[in-house]
Structure 1
Amino acid sequence: MILTVLVLGLVLPASGGAATVVHGLETAAIVLLFFLYGARMPTREVWDGLRSWRVQGSMLAATYVAFPVLGLLVQLLPDSVLAPDLRTGLLFLSVLPSTVQSSVVFTSIAHGDVAAAITGATVSNVTGVLLTPLLAGLLIGGTGGSSLAGSVPQILLQLLLPFAVGQVVQPWIGGWVRGHAHLTRITDRTTILLVAYASVSEASTSGAWDDVTLVVVLTLLVVCAVMLVAMLALTWTGGGRLGLGRPQRIALLMCGSKKSLATGLPMASVLFAPAVAASVALPVIAFHQLQLATCAVLARRLARTVE
């Protein structure tokens, strides 16, 4: 289904009023999803997730230490393999915060610790307001301001507020929501499909794919795949060495290996000149689609092993 909507976004991208409708549906699905997470999750589990310093610390270390190291290693590739602008885009990708929606959704599908995923991904995004511009300035240079601060109200209104409202009503409807798990499953998958279609559709209508050859795309996907596999292996094995339980390891796997497209695209338009921004944004788009497709398969496999 993810591959289908990716092709649909390339062939029939939403534009004008249709794009507005898609964006509205995506926002509504995200709000409903996080309300259901809050409504079904006992408050005790949320506090346990926040108190788990090993999980939270390892997520931050994966996002803002291990990933930037990978981004720096990519800079060693010669121009004949990958153009300098695309290498810069991969370095920029490496300092972005983790995703929130897809990290939590895949953690839920894989039967991981959803509370740890929500708190960890949120902490990653809030700290990213400061860390991403700082790291981008140190590693890339030439930054001219950041639009990350504008994402804070969006995080609060679309993610944390619905989750908090769900927590408030959880004593009354939590049992019913937990007894109808298919509601969350349907919302999980609908949200992922809407995010995938909206991101590809926006890239298609904005001209991000212009002047990009098949060889360039394939090379970029290979490099992104190597980075993704490295982070998946590091977070999974690292979680085991830290003594984390399986649900916490799944949360670390899903949150520590991802990067946010929603943060990356606006940031690229602010931090880089227009002539460079499209090339820098392309690795972010490619990695985002690759992480969605890969983690969808991983989440289902992990869920089957638990079941």
Structure 2
Amino acid sequence: MRLPLTHLEIFSAIAKLGSLRAAAEHLGLKASTVSHQLKKLEEDMGVALFVRTTRSIQLTEAGRALHEGTQPAFEQLSAALQEALRTGKGARGALRISLPELAYQLILKPILPQFMQAFPEIELEFNFSDGLADVIGEGFHAGIRFGDLIQQDMVAIPLTGPLKTSVVAAPSYLKTTFVPDHPRELLGHNCLRYRYQTSRKFADWDFKTDGGRITANVSGNMVTNSLPVLLEQARSGVGLAYMPRALTSADQKNGTLVELLKEFSIDLAALHLYFPKEYRSITPLRSFIDFLKPLRLPDRDQVHPL
């Protein structure tokens, strides 16, 4: 027979409180409903669970055995329910996010110390991937990706505006070679390339020209799947790097990197935080979203209100 949880809950309340009326008040049910459900449980089990008199109701031997066996389970269920409510509604518990390294460097790295100090009971877990994560299937609460990659059934909140691309090089590198005036001239340069972690494809070097959008066929002597490494090697004067301008703005201001081919720059899609609509009430996630509201990118591209 199937486990009759509703009937067992009513049985447990009667056994614990000592009367059908008290059990009905405790459960928010009519006394007639409690009586009917108890009768149905006894019929299904084929045994009497209580001895009823006009003044009292007492457990039978079978009823006592059932109560002693089920009461610990109901207490555990109640404790689990309360824990689930605390986890779902309180600013505590785990918050697991899948994101590309770009989003971490650009958005999260500057504010993480303040967030962790403000919410010490939230345990953050970041999984770095440039593939589109199956948030539910892979056990995440949310992901961050470019908006044009996110499935339509997800709640998607923009974290940035469109991101401009940039080609950058160190002054020391430019002293050893010529400055390109057009994307086609990149063929004569050492271009440091990024390989996507998931697809294993090279990131395209895309540009806008009078003739439309083009992809430069670049080559070079270094490949990496890490943006910080790519940026570090560009600063060292190894070659040219192609990445969102917001990642290079500080270097451009202090002179460690120079932007090239600026008039050919394209817009990438905005970065979005995405999650299933069922997760919108999870307080750790809500707290994380609210904390991102006043953000501004390093190059003053305004982050969209959440």
TM-score by length of 1: 0.22
TM-score by length of 2: 0.22
Q: Which has the higher helix share?
A: 1
